[in-house]
A and B are shown apart, each in its own frame.
Chain A
Amino acid sequence: MPEQGPMTEAMYYILLALLKPGHGYGMMRRIRELSGDRLVMGPGTLYGGLSRMSKDGWIALTGEEGRRKNYAITDAGREALLAEYGRLKRLVADGTVLEEEQG
């Protein structure tokens, strides 16, 4: 399996939100909560992310309510999210040198 490149912020948060299955609008609200109101994801960004990750097999359709579709993260998506989380943790750990320098 090729090494996974850095994820976009949008993809990272969509996958985080989909740890609990949900539909588009529910995901947007959850992303806002998860980011402490820092990230207000546009519907275009969200829909683009869902399409792409659905194609990549990171998320899967679990059901439909009218026009709304429900998604859940797949095992591959979870793996990718964990890999990204690990990468971000390493970045933060590497950054501790900054705190040491500033005393």
Chain B
Amino acid sequence: MEQRYFEDVEPGDEFSLPWRPDRAQVVAFRAAGNPETAERPDRFTDDEAAKQIGMPKAIVPGAFALCMATRVVTDWMGAYGTLHSIDVDFRRPMLHEDALNILALVTDTLEDGGRPTVKLDVYFENERGERPVQGTALVELPRKL
């Protein structure tokens, strides 16, 4: 993992991770919490169950999306960065097999009480031109010595 330094970051910097979630990934994610119910057929694993609540097919759990967004940010900041907060809104469902891109954009750099801090927007885009999940993150980065 590459280390990111405060001096190297400026507003407008962008990084991303493509992601095509599928049933196997969703089941693996749920199994980390409770292996016994990971494959239970519901809106997250079963297309028919999802259709019963008005979705076109099975959807990605919000917690999974948040974890993926967090991963994008923490991979970018490096081992000596500190993620102070991440907060997302779920505006549209993300479906299994969606061609997603998880993006993070540096929107500001500031000295927050003497701490070198970076504000980021984090969001998902899909092939339909939608941003189904969007939010913000606050990261503290080390300075170069």
A and B form one complex: no
Interface residues of B (CB under 8 A from A): none
